[in-house]
A = this chain, B = another copy of it.
Amino acid sequence: MLLHLSTWPEVATYLETSTGIILPIGSTEQHGPTGLIGTDAICAELIAKGVGEDTNALVAPTLNVGMALHHMEFPGSMSLRPSTLILVIRDYLVGLVQAGFTKFFLINGHGGNIATVKAAFAETYATVADLGLPQANLVQCHLANWFMVGAVIKRARELYGDQEGSHATPSEVAVTQFAYPATIKQAPLTTPVNRDHAIYGAADFRQRYPDGRMGSNPGLATPEHGQELYQLAVTELSKSYRQFLAAQ
């Protein structure tokens, strides 16, 4: 059940039986010579919709732009400052708490979002307590990174070995190929690819990773892989969501 395709009376009815909601969060950033700039948002959105269907959960619209400051030297990348993203998530969640939601399950497509999202959760708990909302103490936020799902990691390792890398990975590219088979991109992946550097500022990042890939070979991706990885993520995250809802 997609929030964007629902009416407010439908949401009111939904709230009578569940106070849970799924929020996809992605990023808009370079993903190497062949990866889509929307990769992280596309994956998060697709998987969130799958989990929503599996679990009859409401799915909020995708937060398309996340924390990608280190990618900003590649044109087309967009980012919020961490301080801005904290406010955005706080605004999202506090408003939904006021409407009666208490269980927030964020399906995340971008490693760079993790720190800021967790900081935003802490800020949100404090804000709802400050506001004296009756349900403040029931508010629970959970960050689920689809790319860190056990079954996904295992299968990616089988498929790609150490060519999975850590950015513009074949696994995430595969999921976007499954989602948008008509926009599979071809480009030479001849620039030597680096890996395992720490991430600092944007100019430094571009110097270390000149074509944007971090240790990955996205040329290995296929839409079929994508479908398989998608299904593994949906299955495991649907289970996680149900457990999250059921937990006290």
Contacts and interface: CB of A to CB of B under 8 A. Distances in A.
Interface stretch (A33-41, A147-155, A220-228): A33-41
A78 B96 contact: yes
B64 A61 contact: yes
B137 A201 contact: yes
A42 interface: yes
Give the interface size class of chain A. Answer: 35 or more
A9 B189 CA distance: 12
A219 to B, nearest CB: 13
Of the listed residues A62, A83, A180, A198, the one surrounded by the most CB atoms of chain B closer than 10 A to its CB is A83
Given A65-B91, A70-B122, A82-B86, 18 more contacts: A3-B78, A4-B38, A4-B41, A7-B76, A10-B76, A62-B64, A65-B88, A69-B126, A82-B119, A84-B87, A84-B88, A88-B88, A115-B117, A116-B122, A125-B201, A129-B203, A136-B203, A140-B200
Interface of A: 2-12, 15, 28, 30-38, 41-42, 60-65, 67, 69-70, 72, 74-84, 86-88, 91-92, 95-96, 98-100, 112, 114-123, 125-126, 128-132, 136-142, 180, 183, 185, 187, 198, 200-204, 207, 212, 247
